[in-house]
Amino acid sequence: MSRFIRTIAAACLSAAALAVPHGAAAQTPTAPLKFKWGLPSADYYAIYVAKDQGLFKEAGLDPEFFFFPSGAPLLAGLKSESLDVITTGLATVFALGQNIPLKLIYWELDHAAAEALIVDPKSGVKDVNDLAKAKAIGAPSGTCAQVSLVLLAKNQGTKFSDLSIVNIAPPLYGNAFKSGAIQAGIAWSPYSSGLQEAGYSVAGWATEYTPEGGVCPGLTGIRPKVLEQHPDLGLKLVQVKAKAMDMIAKNPRLGIDALVKHLSVSPEVAKLAFDREFSRIPNFEQQVDPKSPFSLTAKDAGLALKLRIASEALAASGSIPAPLTAKAIADAIDPTHLQRYMKGERK
């Protein structure tokens, strides 16, 4: 009997071996790539939808997200190499100014599209030309808001140092307006929309009051060491972004609901932000076009020019010791991952 059992077992094993397709070892699923991603709380539609819809997992990625009140605090994580990927606004300028290695691979958002000078209707500030009438202006240092104030003051022949600036983040503007601590503030989305819903006025949009149609790029970047270890990570992130943007374009409710869920805003505020902002997110064609204002491939225009203007403004405010050099900017912008995707590569 025992010999019979052994014979049957051997036959089963042989059949099982024959059933395994050739090269099965190479087809064994690999563990998803784990990495840490830092970003401020802002309208990063594609990231939220990709997370909710399982697009990262589908691409073999397993990001752990860390959220910050603004871009500046995530610099410590980037500097210590505890963050691998970041998405943020002009904190990228600070990173490059501190010689923190970073490769900027695509636009996540154009923050300038929904950045606004928000004012209390009782302040007497009707438009950006009345800025000096505000006794105190909200703007966190080291952000697009501070850059906008520098550029506004310059355009109006006012010294930036003569403005009374309160260093607080847009989520705190509501209480600051109510208490009279500020009469104006530069806010990015969704806080610009939330303040509108609360009865405050838009005195101007950044696309109008800053040069080049706005100088507040929201960018996704990766530490070069991480790219060296995982050379397809950039391409996979582009692939995920493309799928998420396509899903939102076909069903805008996904983007609106994502803001409600991840930023704890009302559906009304989320829709107001979405209507202002989503269609203005630079597409991949614009980002690889050297003639586009959002170009990653232009040497002295597009993103490179916006970063130069922003770094000059931050240096003028004393937030950084000197503007970024052209070489530092050029070395940081890496369009190759987008270009691989646009040529049809998929991973």
The model's pLDDT over 187-196, given as tens digits with 9 standing for 90+, comes to: 999 999 999 9
Q: Nearest 5 degrees, angle CA 161-CA 119-CA 169?
A: 65
pLDDT of 244 higher than 90: yes
3-state secondary structure of 158: coil
Q: What is the pLDDT of residue 29?
A: 61
Q: Where does the pLDDT of residue 55 fall: very low under 50, low under 70, confident under 90, or very high at 90 and above?
A: very high
**Mean predicted confidence (pLDDT) in 3-11:** 39
Amino acid at position 107, single letter: W
How far is residue 219 CA from its own chain's centroid? Answer: 5
Residue of 271 and 7 predicted with greater confidence:
271
Q: Please, which pLDDT band fits residue 1 given cuts at 50, 70 and 90?
A: very low
Q: How does pLDDT run across 145-154, given as a tens digit for each residue? A: 999 999 998 8
pTM: 0.86
Sheet harboring 184-187: ordered strands across?
Answer: 165-166, 137-138, 184-187, 116-119, 201-205
Residue 22 has pLDDT above 60, yes or no: no
| Integer Cα distance of 224 and 155 in angstroms | 38
Portion of the chain with pLDDT greater than 90, in percent: 72
Query: How far are the Cα atoms of 257, 305, 306, 317, 318 from residue 312, in angstroms, in the given order?
Result: 37, 11, 10, 9, 10
Q: Which domains does the chain have, with CATH numbers?
A: 33-110+215-342 (3.40.190.10), 116-213 (3.40.190.10)
pLDDT band, residue 19 (cuts 50/70/90)? very low
